[in-house]
Amino acid sequence: MDEQIFEAMAQSIIEGDRERAAELAFESISSGIEPLDAINKGFVIGVKKVGEDFSVGNAFIPELVVSGAAMKSAMDVLEPEIASRGTEKEKLGVIVLGTIEGDIHDIGKNLVSTMLSAYGFEVYDLGVDVPAIQMVDKAREVNADIVAVSALLTTTMMNQKRVIEVLIKEGIRDNVKVLVGGAPVDESWVEEIGADGYGDDAIQAVETAKKLLGIDA
């Protein structure tokens, strides 16, 4: 019985069915399935399948977006249950994430946040239009492994560099990896500003985060 619901969970993510994902999450709780099993044996399997399809050109950004939304619907149900039971997900690392000051675009950032959480990172999403000092202060507060900075506009890209400058000024640059992303970001920009890596999309952001922390795929 559990295997059937796990398969259905994975399929709800693949199809990007938010209502079905939430329904299955509630069903798993009422059926006595451990929330962590629902995540790891069910929903995350779907996330990985979409990611694999995307990497070989069989899925595209719209599919990632709807699958990410479905995953969020499931997590919105399961995370309070996890908290109430006092159990913890396996944590790959701590990431502070936000769209940089001057930029209010959040679709890509939200998708990255959802995918990172699904894969086991503890994510502190600060939202949009986030000043560099706020990101750095939060990174210090939660002892973050990575600060992930999104910018969709070329006019706000320079503020990604500002995050690195503030990390250096505050004396914690050596303790924190910097991951940047957004449509105008590429490898040359990473090198120019002294970041540690970038994600061209949500799946690449997850893979880069793993590599930065020395985590096997």
Task: Please give the pLDDT value at position 88.
Answer: 66
pLDDT of residue 126: 97
At residue 217, does pLDDT exceed 60? no
100: Cα within 13 Å, side-chain hemisphere: 25
Provide mean pLDDT across the span 42-60. Answer: 85
Sorting pLDDT into bands at 50, 70 and 90, what band is 68? confident
Report residue 78 as tokens. Answer: 């399961």
Domains and CATH numbers, the chain: 2-85 (1.10.1240.10), 93-212 (3.40.50.280)
Predicted model pTM = 0.74
Percent of the chain at pLDDT > 90 equals 60
User: Residues 54, 57, 62, 67: is their CA dihedral positive or negative?
Assistant: negative
- pLDDT (tens digit per residue) in 76-135: 999 888 778 776 667 899 999 999 999 988 877 887 888 888 778 999 999 999 999 999
- Alpha-carbon separation of residue 190 from 75, 83, 103, 108, 158 (angstroms): 32, 37, 19, 18, 11
**In 3D, which of 113, 201, 99 has the Cα closest to residue 153?**
99
Residue 26 is predicted with a pLDDT of 96
What integer best gives the mean pLDDT of the chain? 91
CA-CA distance, 60 to 50, in Å (whole number)? Answer: 9
State how far the Cα of 124 lies from the Cα of 135, in Å rounded to an integer: 10
The least confident of 42-46, 138-142, 174-178, 198-202 is 198-202
pLDDT digits (tens, 9 = 90+) for 189-211: 999 999 999 988 878 898 999 99
